[in-house]
Amino acid sequence: MIQRHIFGHVFALEALIAAGVFVVVLALLVYALLRRRAGRQATASRRTERPRLEAYYVAVLTAFGVFLVAWTAWQNHREHHTAERPPVRVDVSSFQWCWTFSYPQAPQRRSASGTCRGDDLPTLVVPTGRPVKLRLTSRDVIHSLWVPELRYKMDAFPDHVNSFTLTLDREGRWMGKCAEFCGLRHHTMHFWIKAVSPEEYHRFLQGQQGGGGQGAAA
């Protein structure tokens, strides 16, 4: 779950800095409100600028901006660094208004789909501990595959394939959603992502039950 991990770090740092800046500005505002009220006999300053101070301030801002850009770009590259091991492949096809997950590496082509009505949600089954490469496309309009728990999403376009690699390090089942408005049933276009042990994944690919979901051999 490298995405979740990196998101956590970067978000925490930026949120902390943002909170710091907010508190400083608020403190200055409150100070001005308390001390510079007309009722307190404050006299208005006639100073029109402080170019020296402003120049230092701009230098600090710039240095900070450079740090932020470089550091977050590095994190972004780390997140997208693909592992050496050959990944498990899953083809994701989105359509109005549900998903199809196909497993091209299964002995007999396996795929799972559904209607995304009520409880009929398709399940994307992936093994833990191995990189999984999702190849994402759409049959009609733009959709977006989002798994909030993994802190990651990517858009699915027609006539274009996007891919990204995930590694799940524990077993579990989480909900995924469509994040790009795609029409009438956009709000119910959900799916499950289920991480199982490599052995169970192997059995699932062979077509034995255990993977769960509406996995029907196609």
Partner 1 sequence: MTVAPPTAKEGTGGRPVPPSGWLAWVTSTDHKRIGVLTIATSLVLFLVMGTFALTMRAQLAQPEQHLVSTELYNQLFTIHGSGMIYMVVTPFAIGMGVYLVPLQIGAPGIAIPRLTLLGYWLYALGALVMLAGFATPGGAHADGWFSYPPMADSVHSPGAGSDLWIAGVFLATTGTIVMGWAVLWTGLRKRTHGMTMLRLPVFSWSMIATCLMVIGAFPALLAALGLLAVGRANPAIFEANVWNIGYQHLFWFYGHPVVYVMFFPYLAAVSEVLAVFSGRRFFGYRGTVLSLLVFAGLSMSVWGHHMFATGQATNDYYSLTSIALLVPAGVEYFAMIGTILGGRLRLGPPMLFALAFIPQFLIGGLTGIMLGTPVIDYHVTDSYFVVAHLHYVLFAGSAFGLFAAVYFWFPKVTGVMLGDRAGRLHFWLLVIGTNVTFLPMFALGYLGMPRRVSAYASFEGFGWLNLLSSVGAAFLAASVLVFAVNVLWTLRRRTLGSAERAPDDPWGGHTLEWATTSPPPRLNFTPDHPVPPVTSFAPLLDQRQRREEGAAAGDGSRP
Minimum Å gap between C-beta 157 and partner 1 is 6
Rg of the chain in Å (alpha carbons):
25
CB closer to partner 1, 68 vs 106: 68
Site for Cu ion in 3-62 (CB under 5 A): none
Minimum Å gap between C-beta 188 and Cu ion is 9
CB closer to Cu ion, 76 vs 82: 76
Minimum Å gap between C-beta 130 and partner 1 is 21
CB 102 within 8 A of CB 90: yes
CA distances (Å), origin 207, targets 71, 103, 127, 129, 176: 45, 11, 15, 21, 24
Tokens for 96? 């109005």
Minimum Å gap between C-beta 189 and partner 1 is 9
- What is the rounded CA–CA span in Å between residue 91 and residue 153? 15
Site for Cu ion in 128-157 (CB under 5 A): 143
Region near Cu ion per CB under 5 A, out of 15-23, 41-49, 173-181, 196-204: 173-181
- What is the rounded CA–CA span in Å between residue 112 and residue 91? 11
Minimum Å gap between C-beta 104 and Cu ion is 25
CB closer to partner 1, 28 vs 217: 28
Q: Please choose, from the candidates 211, 194, 131, the residue with its C-alpha nearest in 3D space to the C-alpha of residue 163.
A: 131
CB closer to partner 1, 7 vs 207: 7
203 binds, among Cu ion, partner 1, none (CB under 5 to 8 A by kind): none
Contacts for 115 with CB less than 8 Å, ≥ 6 apart: 98
Give the residues across from 4 on adjacent strands: none
Region near Cu ion per CB under 5 A, out of 42-50, 100-108, 184-192, 204-212: 184-192
CB closer to partner 1, 195 vs 205: 195
16 binds, among Cu ion, partner 1, none (CB under 5 to 8 A by kind): none
Q: Please choose, from the candidates 151, 156, 123, 119, the residue with its C-alpha nearest in 3D space to the C-alpha of residue 141.
A: 156
Give the residues across from 3 on adjacent strands: none
Report CA torsion sign: 92, 79, 14, 61. negative
178 is a site residue for Cu ion (CB under 5 A) = yes
Judged by the rule CB under 5 A, the positions of this chain that interact with Cu ion are 143, 178, 182, 186, 189
